[in-house]
Amino acid sequence: MTVLIILGVLFIALLVVVPLLERSSFRISNEQMSKMSRWILPLLVVMVVIQLIMHFTSN
């Protein structure tokens, strides 16, 4: 039952956020996008390493 409540809240939030983003004039240039995308993979690796450490130290 909890999963259905969470999915319902997420769906309602999606219905609210998408139209707001479409109306806003927030745009990201290609230069800004390339700067951000260069950080994604290293941050994901750090996140996985931290999760592995947390998993193995909690047992």
Enter the pTM of the model: 0.51
pLDDT grade for 41, boundaries at 50, 70 and 90: very high
pLDDT in tens, 9-36: 999 999 999 888 888 877 888 999 898 8
Six-digit token string for 25: 């004039």
Q: How far apart are CA 46 and CA 53, in angstroms?
A: 11
Q: Report the 3 state secondary structure along the chain.
A: CHHHHHHHHHHHHHHHHHHHHHHCCCCCCHHHHHHHHHHHHHHHHHHHHHHHHHHHHCC
pLDDT band at residue 39 under the 50/70/90 scheme:
very high
Domain ranges of the chain: 2-57
Q: Please, what is the average pLDDT of the chain?
A: 92
